[in-house]
């Protein structure tokens, strides 16, 4: 008969995307974990995880099952806390996001508000394709990325194929992030021609380095000076050190990034729509819903 322990095992595997890593976190042997999942799959007559040489991936029917399993475990936790005075359980929550300071601010606010004694939280600032893949395979409950006229058709097809929802957070006119000491810093707006002498910084996308997966709009334009980076701190250091620029939403956190980086409107006719994605078959956890509220709260300061 299916047990609560098996449900916990299945969700732990989904969280880590690996039998070996989940077994370590659960303090059991990998064969024991694998056998428990095989017994569960046999009882339910479904395949929850597809086994490959590279690890495990969640099947279509497994995604639906894990959505229900998460809800069941949350209800059990509520019952235990209400009637058994149980010690708070180890909380899990993961977000995958493009490189946005506001997503970090909301994450910090969430942790400060809940002040949990035990937790396993993950914040992945990562590549666009990996955000989609993380939410599709339940490694993250929430993903944050943008759509515009250029990438919308490709990204929306992937969202549909992966059974993911996109919910708008805000729409913004394009800006450039530059150093406060950049010669263009005093401009009310800048043009692409104004930017041409300066290095253009962008986030590299690895194996999926398609223009449609770029974190920056106008990705098909050529520039005399290009630098690709993998993390936000490096990009900001290069903005200051090399007088470079990057194209973004204009939403920047002085609290996290200081006053050395500023946003200046870019003179182009474009709209950036930033939103969060989630799996259609999975009800948001309490922490995920709270994180969305924190995102809205943080973004109110920029509207």
The CATH number that applies at residue 280 is 3.40.190.290
Phi, then psi, of 256 in degrees rounded to 5: -90, -35
Q: What is the pLDDT of residue 52?
A: 78
Domain that holds residue 276: 93-303
Shared domain check, 191 and 54: no
What confidence score (pLDDT) does residue 80 get?
74
The whole-angstrom separation of Cα 295 and Cα 148 is: 20
pLDDT average, residue stretch 270-293: 92
Confidence of residue 288 (pLDDT cuts 50, 70, 90): very high
Higher pLDDT, 301 or 197: 197
- Evaluate whether 247 touches 175 at the Cβ level (below 8 Å): yes
Q: Which of 89, 118, 146 is the last residue of a domain?
A: 89
Question: Are both 117 and 218 inside the same structural domain?
Answer: yes
Torsion sign over Cα 107, 286, 22, 84: positive
Residue position matching structure tokens 């993950």: 122
Distance from C-alpha of 262 to C-alpha of 254, rounded to nearest angstrom = 9
Judgement on whether residues 152 and 254 belong to the same structural domain of the protein = yes
Give the contacts of 188 (CB within 8 A, at least 6 positions apart): 264, 265
Q: pLDDT at residue 257 above 90? A: no
CATH code assigned at 39: 1.10.10.10
Q: Tell me what percent of the residues of the chain surpass a pLDDT of 70.
A: 94
Mean pLDDT of 133-160: 94
Whether 105 and 243 map to the same domain: the answer is yes
Predicted local distance difference test score (pLDDT) of residue 16: 81
């Amino acid at each position: 008969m299916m047990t609560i322990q098996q449900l916990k095992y299945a969700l732990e595997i989904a969280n880590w995307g690996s039998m070996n890593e989940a077994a370590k976190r659960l303090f059991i042997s990998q064969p024991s974990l694998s056998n428990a999942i095989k017994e569960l799959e046999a009882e339910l007559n479904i395949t929850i995880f597809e086994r490959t040489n590279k690890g495990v991936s969640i099947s279509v029917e497994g995604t639906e099952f894990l959505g229900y399993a998460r809800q069941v475990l949350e209800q059990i936790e509520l019952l235990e806390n209400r009637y058994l005075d149980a010690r708070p359980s180890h909380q899990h929550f993961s977000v995958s996001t493009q490189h946005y300071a506001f997503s970090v601010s909301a994450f910090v606010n969430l942790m400060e508000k809940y002040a949990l004694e035990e937790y396993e939280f993950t914040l992945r600032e990562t590549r666009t394709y990996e955000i989609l893949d993380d939410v599709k395979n339940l490694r993250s409950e929430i993903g944050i990325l943008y759509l515009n006229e250029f990438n919308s058709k490709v990204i929306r097809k992937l969202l549909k194929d992966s059974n993911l929802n996109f919910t708008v957070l805000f729409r913004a006119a394009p800006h450039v992030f530059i150093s406060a000491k950049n010669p263009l810093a005093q401009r009310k707006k800048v043009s692409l021609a104004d930017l041409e002498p300066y290095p253009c910084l962008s986030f590299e996308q690895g194996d999926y380095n398609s223009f449609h997966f770029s974190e920056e709009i106008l990705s098909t334009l050529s520039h005399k000076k290009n630098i690709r980076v993998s993390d936000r701190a490096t990009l900001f250091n290069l903005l200051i050190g090399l007088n470079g620029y990057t194209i973004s939403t204009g939403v920047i956190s002085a609290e996290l990034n200081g006053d050395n980086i500023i946003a200046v409107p870019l003179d182009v006719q474009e709209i950036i729509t930033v939103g969060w994605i989630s799996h259609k078959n999975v009800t948001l956890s309490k922490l995920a819903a709270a994180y969305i509220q924190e995102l809205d709260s943080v973004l109110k300061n920029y509207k």
